[in-house]
Amino acid sequence: MHSFDTKLEVSDDVGFSSPTEITKVRSIEGGEDKATMSASHHLRSTNAIKTKDIGMLEEGARTYQILYDKTIYAALRTIYRARTAKYFRETLPDSSTLIGLGAISSIGKPTAPDDDEMMFTLEVTPTAGWDFTAS
């Protein structure tokens, strides 16, 4: 997914009072949310058919391809090395937002793909449920 108009912000507070803005997001991958299912049955179940109950919900990690900027890269590495959760706000091209608490689970070294633009990969793993707001 090409996300040239997508903006990613990182902040200490949910109000994003002084966020680190990342405006050079080239692509976004992942984010598959899953629910665990558990069997709920016994021999006296109606028609002896297994039923399932929804269990815990798990938010999937988001992977961003970002154009390299030394100031942004340094700020994100500092957050990564501090091993602290931050608030992330992803603003999509249609102005919809995805906001939640998460941690940087990996940050790649800057590389130059075929088009010679330096890029790096950032993976954010949610530590709590993220909210989606359609605009």
6-61: per-residue pLDDT in tens? 899 999 999 999 999 998 898 888 777 777 777 776 666 666 677 777 777 788 89
Contact 133, 99 (CB under 8 A): yes
Q: What is the pTM of this model?
A: 0.80
- What pLDDT, on the 0 to 100 scale, is given for residue 131? 86
Please enumerate in sequence order all residues whose Cβ is within 8 A of that of 47, keeping only pairs 6 or more positions apart, or say none: none
What is the C-alpha end-to-end distance of the chain, expressed in Å?
A: 19
* Mean pLDDT for the stretch of residues 113-119: 79
Alpha helical stretches, state H, the chain = 70-82
| Cα–Cα distance measured from residue 87 to residue 100, given in angstroms and rounded to the nearest whole number | 6
CATH, domain range 7-33+60-133: 2.30.110
